[in-house]
Amino acid sequence: MKALNNLYIQNQNKISIHRIKKILREIWESVSGTDQDFTSGSLSKAILLLSVPMVLEMIMESIFAVVDIFFVSKLGADAIATVGITESLITIIYALGIGLSSATTALVARRIGEKENRKAANTAFQAIITGTTISIIIAIAGIIFARDLLRLMGASEVIVNDMWQYTAIMLGSNVLIMLLFIINAIFRSAGDAAISMRVLFLANGVNIVLDPCLIFGWGPFPELGVVGAATATSIGRGLAVIYQFYLLFRGKGRVKLILKDCLPDFKIIVDILKLSIGSTLQMLIATTSWIFLVRIIAKYGSDVVAGYTIGIRVIIFALLPSFGISNAAATLVGQNLGAKKPDRAERSVWFTSRVNFIFLGMLGATMIMFAEPIIMIFDDSEAIVRSGVLCLRIISYGFLFYGVGMVLIQSFNGAGDTVTPAYINLVCFWMIEIPLAYFLATRIGWKEEGVYYAIIIAETLMTITAAILFKRGKWKLKEV
């Protein structure tokens, strides 16, 4: 009997080692690049192969925010507030970039699922043209009206007069943000998620090196203060975009551009704009709600805004990997609908939702327990730490719902149904979150704490509504 028990234990150990080796091989395959067909085979493997590089990509994206605020926090509350207020303005650009990338994901993934790689490449080029044109218009307005925008957001005169260049540079270089979003969406939706990951590794590496050099004047570099942070970020993003174009024309990905085919196709551009209206609206609704929230919080002083800015940057750092998992679901939905496999598309969404639910649940608990030491990494002044800890702890209570909600919303987008999430956001963020934040903050007297509670209430309602509508299954019938 003892010999049989020992044999059983040995067999179990061999099975465990085999499983670990298999998982490690699949992780290596996901980050090094894969030619896996995501419309067939193991669903869990498909999600793993897509999710790992997308999570790493989103971590790289979030590092931009954390690195900047880490170094800028050494310059004082006004510098931190400048970054926070500017970031709230740039969320509109993020909204447009994410909206266009969602439309790009739906169209490119569908063409890849149909095995029409040449049409996928043509769609990709039209998306690049569309995003570039829009961003040039924003850049001109952003540079000219930088001071006016800061004043409109309630910034102090010190920020408006002495730090407006940061805002001008960030808005003026928005084409880099736009192209990073759109081209990485092209790679992801084609199943080449590892390429998107490598692009942001490059951008972050440059930003991490240049940030302290240009902010503090290390070595031969000039001391530019908060303007140095904007300059470093723009240089990092610019080099990453150059690398993206190199990969599109000379790389070995599924989507490959050929110069002679790079001509405007207004029919496809119109299709992209039509699809992106819903996804852009949903992001604009969500992000402009944050602008209103910042405007409410700004009434309580620079220390509160600085604490909120640090807290939100940490939250963004925590949530962006979950967006990576959600993007994997969107790609699977688009490709499987293109391959006429709607049931497989739905299974992938619920599987991914469970993964994100568990991941963000554990992460939220960590944020709640260690909020103070996390905030003190960036600033140790009592007022800023108190405000940042309050923000981080309260919003972290909603992480469980955020995890499921992200996947469901992105899955609608991946199917090409961008209107449903727009309606959900309109109700939850504009009709509930903003009025509730104002009521709790000013009427009830909870100040910034009321704003944070309004955020988790609105996000929870968004998740519940999305789940009900997703179960109805109308998204499966969407043609793009």
- pLDDT for 444-462, tens place per residue? 888 888 889 999 999 999 9
């009427």: which residue's tokens?
A: 443
Q: Which residues contact 8 (CB under 8 A, 6 or more apart)?
A: none
Instruction: Indicate the burial class of 343 (C-beta count within 10 angstroms; 0-12, 13-18, 19 or more).
Output: exposed
* Dihedral pair phi/psi, residue 478, rounded to 5°: -70, 130
Flag whether 21 is in a domain. Answer: no
**b or e along 439-454 (b: 16 or more beta carbons within 10 Å of the residue's beta carbon)?**
ebbeeeebbbbbbbbb
**In this model, does residue 225 exceed pLDDT 50?**
yes
Flag whether 14 is in a domain. Answer: no
How many angstroms separate the CA atoms of 461 and 457, rounded? 6
pLDDT score recorded for residue 318: 78
- 395-453 pLDDT, tens digit per residue, is 998 888 888 998 999 899 888 888 898 899 899 998 999 999 989 988 888 888 888 99
| Alpha-carbon radius of gyration of the chain | 23
Flag whether 24 is in a domain. Answer: no
Flag whether 26 is in a domain. Answer: no
Flag whether 5 is in a domain. Answer: no
Flag whether 311 is in a domain. Answer: yes
- 340-385 pLDDT, tens digit per residue, is 888 888 998 998 999 889 989 998 999 899 988 988 888 778 888 8
Flag whether 200 is in a domain. Answer: yes
- The mean pLDDT of 148-157, rounded to a whole number, is 85
Integer distance in angstroms from the first to the last C-alpha of the chain?
Answer: 63
* Dihedral pair phi/psi, residue 408, rounded to 5°: -65, -45
pLDDT score recorded for residue 413: 87
Task: Give the structural domain span for 289.
Answer: 38-477
- Exposure of 389 in the CB half-sphere (CA atoms within 13 A): 16
Number of domains in the chain: 1
Q: Which residues contact 156 (CB under 8 A, 6 or more apart)?
A: 78, 81, 302
Flag whether 55 is in a domain. Answer: yes
pLDDT score recorded for residue 8: 47
pLDDT bucket at 25, cuts 50 / 70 / 90: low
- 237-246 pLDDT, tens digit per residue, is 999 999 999 9
How many angstroms separate the CA atoms of 375 and 193, rounded? 32
